Amino acid sequence: MPQPKAETTGLSRQLGPVAMMFTGLSIIGSGWLFAALYTAQLAGPAGILSWVIGGIVTLAIALVYAELGGMLPVGGALARIPYFAFGPLGGFMAGWLCWAAFVATAPLEVIAVLEYASNYLPWLSVNIEGERVLTFEGVLVAIALMALFTVINLLGVKYFARANTAITFWKLLVPVVAAILLIVYGFRWENFTEFDGFAPYGATGVMSAVSSGGIMFAFYGFRSVVDMAGEARNPRRDVPLSIIGTVVFCIIFYILLQIAFIGAIPVAHLDNGWAGITETAPGGPFAAFAAILGLQWLAILLYADAIVSPAGTGLSFVASTARVNYSMAKAGQIPSIFQRLNRYHVPGWSLVFNFLIGIVVVLPLPGWNELVEFISTAAVLSFAFGPVALLVMRRQEPTRFRPVRLPMVTTFATIAFVLVGFVVYWTGWQTNWKIMLVAMAGLLILAVTRRMKGGSKEPLQLRASAWIWPYYAGLAIMSYVGNYGGGLGLISDGWDMLILTVFSLVIFRLAIRLRLESEVVDRLMESGRAELESAERAGA
């Protein structure tokens, strides 16, 4: 590893508009291989509506971060912006949940790569009670692959951008070609109405698929654009455009894939209903359908893409996760070593630390969809800080330049905040109790860090963060008594959403009322002054 040195010139701004856009689109990895299948199992043909709902939720949140990211284009902005808006405690909670989601994503994608590769190299994994688990040799290969991703990132953002852009172009092209050819050669409109109709599992199935079908996991790649904002050549232009462009492209991309998947399923595969369909080929269901239709060359491409796509996503999230560490260290929330940059102006110690954590994650764990539920919910819950931060910054920093300025901002931010609560609730109790436990464990990390030599002595600003705890508690209670993912089902459908809406509105108003004073916000933003001045010069 190149020797790290104290930060002098900061992160290097070398990412152009294409590289920024492809950083967001790099999330298209194992998600496209699995999400259409799991969504169809949960919602049937109405899974198309699940993608529309997930897309609307994500676009609402993304527009919030388009304004925030353009206004404050700093490294690891998803953790840093809440720090500016709520103080050290609120900033840490947002960053901690973000990091928990990110640090598990790259290893998850590596596992997906090796599980597919084990169809050709069977010594990589073993089947235990219906679950693929890496062998000892498979774990060693996984570690080597994560080490490769880490080394590419250690060599600087320029090398990361080149590798990521090439891989992302490939993994966008193959699924689009596959979807179009499946529609042309094997499409059955009857699949949308037969087999218990368009929505065999009703509204509950549609909503469950948004959180548990991998939909939110497939959409949340725009976060990488926000976190890499500190390395954009022209951040005030490219960050908002890349955020919005990533989400709009993914909405169209995934709806096309879901339509192709539903229409291409052979009748024989639906004998046990939508919930009974399973993966039927080493390269996933799309490859199976291509082979059935006699498109062997397409099946071969899909077999290869089943390895390339997750690898590209893993590479991107190694980069994004390190920027979250960097931003939290800049705010004094974790040890300062994580903000130190190597000679290539990347946070080297953060990359190495996350690589070590990744070694733990690749050990035998639950299946893909269970891990995706955890990652997606942790990421979405951290989104709750964005709409509140948007209004706080509008009121406390009204004169700061904003390349994107949302109209009807109070209404827009309120809706985005309510939608975050919906998605967390739809995930269900069996996942949410783990998320809440991880969130609380983060407080111990913060307490230890602040007592260390060199730890931040900035006041935690407890008042500005006081809304977080009733919010988490309320979501946990709603999940426990609700109708999704192991909930007790004590509240009837419809009433649960009404109660959750009212609860979210109350918390949102409370969060705005408890906002920091303008002079406190100004003092906290001093930690990002150099990066913000760099962004202004880059956009001049």
Helices (H), 338-467: 348-361, 368-383, 385-396, 409-427, 429-451
* Average pLDDT of span 3-24: 63
- Whether 107 is in a domain gets the answer yes
> In Å, how far are 332, 363, 435, 473, 479 from 476, measured between CA atoms?
29, 29, 9, 5, 5
* Helix 235-264 × helix 17-25 angle, to 10°: 40
Q: What is the mean pLDDT of the chain?
A: 83
Instruction: Report pLDDT for 495.
Output: 92
Nearest Cα residue to 4 out of 350, 340, 355, 338: 340
**pLDDT, greater one: 278 or 265:** 265
Which 3 state secondary structure label does DSSP give 133? strand
- Whether 65 is in a domain gets the answer yes
The helix (H) or strand (E) run that includes residue 326 is helix 296-330
Instruction: Report pLDDT for 271.
Output: 82
Q: What 3 state SS string does 139-194 have?
A: HHHHHHHHHHHHHHHHCCHHHHHHHHHHHHHHHHHHHHHHHHHHHHHHCCHHHHCC
- Whether 11 is in a domain gets the answer no
> In Å, how far are 42, 277, 371 from 35, measured between CA atoms?
11, 13, 13
Determine the residue type at 393: M
- Whether 29 is in a domain gets the answer yes
* pLDDT digits 0-9 by tens, 444-480: 888 888 887 666 677 888 999 999 999 999 999 999 9
The helix (H) or strand (E) run that includes residue 132 is strand 131-134
Q: Does position 2 have pLDDT exceeding 60, yes or no?
A: no
Instruction: Report pLDDT for 511.
Output: 95
**pLDDT, greater one: 177 or 454:** 177
The helix (H) or strand (E) run that includes residue 290 is helix 285-292
The residue behind tokens 């705890």 is 469
Q: What is the DSSP letter of 406?
A: -
- Whether 267 is in a domain gets the answer yes
Bridge partner residues of 133 (DSSP): 126
- Whether 5 is in a domain gets the answer no
| pLDDT band, residue 283 (cuts 50/70/90) | low
pTM for this model (two decimals): 0.81
Q: Does position 214 have pLDDT exceeding 90, yes or no?
A: no
| pLDDT band, residue 279 (cuts 50/70/90) | low
d(CA 225, CA 22): 9
Q: What 3 state SS string does 218-265 have?
A: HHCCHHHHHHCHHHECCHHHHHHHHHHHHHHHHHHHHHHHHHHHHHHC
Nearest Cα residue to 361 out of 4, 107, 190: 107
* Average pLDDT of span 4-27: 65
* pLDDT digits 0-9 by tens, 223-240: 777 777 777 778 778 888
- Whether 8 is in a domain gets the answer no
Lowest-confidence range among 39-48, 341-350, 361-370, 428-437? Answer: 361-370
CATH number reported for the structural domain that contains residue 188 in this entry: 1.20.1740.10
The helix (H) or strand (E) run that includes residue 286 is helix 285-292
Q: Does position 119 have pLDDT exceeding 90, yes or no?
A: no
The helix (H) or strand (E) run that includes residue 320 is helix 296-330
Q: Does position 6 have pLDDT exceeding 70, yes or no?
A: no
Instruction: Report pLDDT for 391.
Output: 94
Q: Does position 9 have pLDDT exceeding 50, yes or no?
A: no
> In Å, how far are 72, 75, 79, 246, 475 from 535, measured between CA atoms?
8, 11, 18, 21, 37
Instruction: Report pLDDT for 485.
Output: 82
Instruction: Report pLDDT for 4.
Output: 37
Contact 323, 348 (CB under 8 A): no
Most confidently predicted of 211-215, 242-246, 472-476, 513-517 = 472-476
Concatenate the DSSP letters of all residues of 449-491 into one string: HHHSTT---S---TTTTTTHHHHHHHHHHHHHHSSSTT----S
d(CA 240, CA 229): 10
| pLDDT band, residue 27 (cuts 50/70/90) | low
Q: What is the CA radius of gyration of the chain?
A: 22
| pLDDT band, residue 129 (cuts 50/70/90) | low
Instruction: Report pLDDT for 5.
Output: 41
* Average pLDDT of span 242-252: 87
| pLDDT band, residue 11 (cuts 50/70/90) | low
Structural domain boundaries, residue 190: 17-533
Instruction: Report pLDDT for 356.
Output: 93
Contact 311, 111 (CB under 8 A): no
- Whether 12 is in a domain gets the answer no
* Average pLDDT of span 6-24: 67
Domain count, the chain: 1
The helix (H) or strand (E) run that includes residue 54 is helix 47-71
Contact 360, 108 (CB under 8 A): no
* Average pLDDT of span 132-151: 88
d(CA 100, CA 218): 17
